[in-house]
Amino acid sequence: MNKIRSISRKLRVAFIIALIITPLLNILVWMFYDRLPDEISMTLIPHSLNLNQININPLTKTLACLAAMLQVGVIMYALNLLIKLFKNYEQNQIFTTTNVTYYRRLGYSVFLYVICDKIVEILTSIILTFQNPVGHRVMAVKFSGADLVGLGTGVVIILIAWIMNEGHRLQEEQSLTI
């Protein structure tokens, strides 16, 4: 049990650090977008756009950063849930209804992340091309296998929450049986 406590504490601290760093990284990446190597900057724009179609200036970088904050918000929500979950593990609260709720919410946050990813992709494509002349503005979205993996992962996490809830219920019934 001490090993679970120790690992849970370390993970909780790592998630707290990630919670702080995540929005800062988003801001820094968009602030210095035009100075990033192409390998990084190309991952930030929708796949259907090419560098000739986009207009990078302070306004578009700011708007794109704000749009990306939708996803960052979902990540921060999930990190907050993980912090709470591992704090419970530190306190030997493993199979509780509270943890079941955290797992369920984590599963739904994975769904929300995939949805926000598509919204951010659409918004980013609009933001990066809205200053182009009419006929050269783009609204792009792409669904891939990674999106299906994300949705499948959300289903598995929700299923784990359901199983944990059933296990907790059975444990309570058994403890009340004489």
**What's this model's pTM, rounded to 2 decimal places?**
0.86
Q: Give the model's pLDDT for residue 98.
A: 94
How many helices (H) and strands (E) the chain has is answered by: 5, 0
Q: Give the model's pLDDT for residue 1.
A: 76
Regions in the chain scoring below 70 on pLDDT: 46-53, 178
| Integer Cα distance of 129 and 116 in angstroms | 20
Q: Give the model's pLDDT for residue 94.
A: 85
- C-alpha distances out from residue 20 to 41, 72, 76, 80, 133, Å: 22, 11, 9, 11, 39
Q: Give the model's pLDDT for residue 52.
A: 65
| Helix or strand (DSSP H, E) at 131 | none
Tens of pLDDT, residue by residue over 1-25, are: 789 999 999 999 999 999 999 999 9
- C-alpha distances out from residue 12 to 18, 47, 139, Å: 10, 34, 39
Q: Give the model's pLDDT for residue 178.
A: 63
| Integer Cα distance of 11 and 98 in angstroms | 19
Tens of pLDDT, residue by residue over 64-86, are: 999 999 999 999 999 999 999 99
Q: Give the model's pLDDT for residue 51.
A: 62
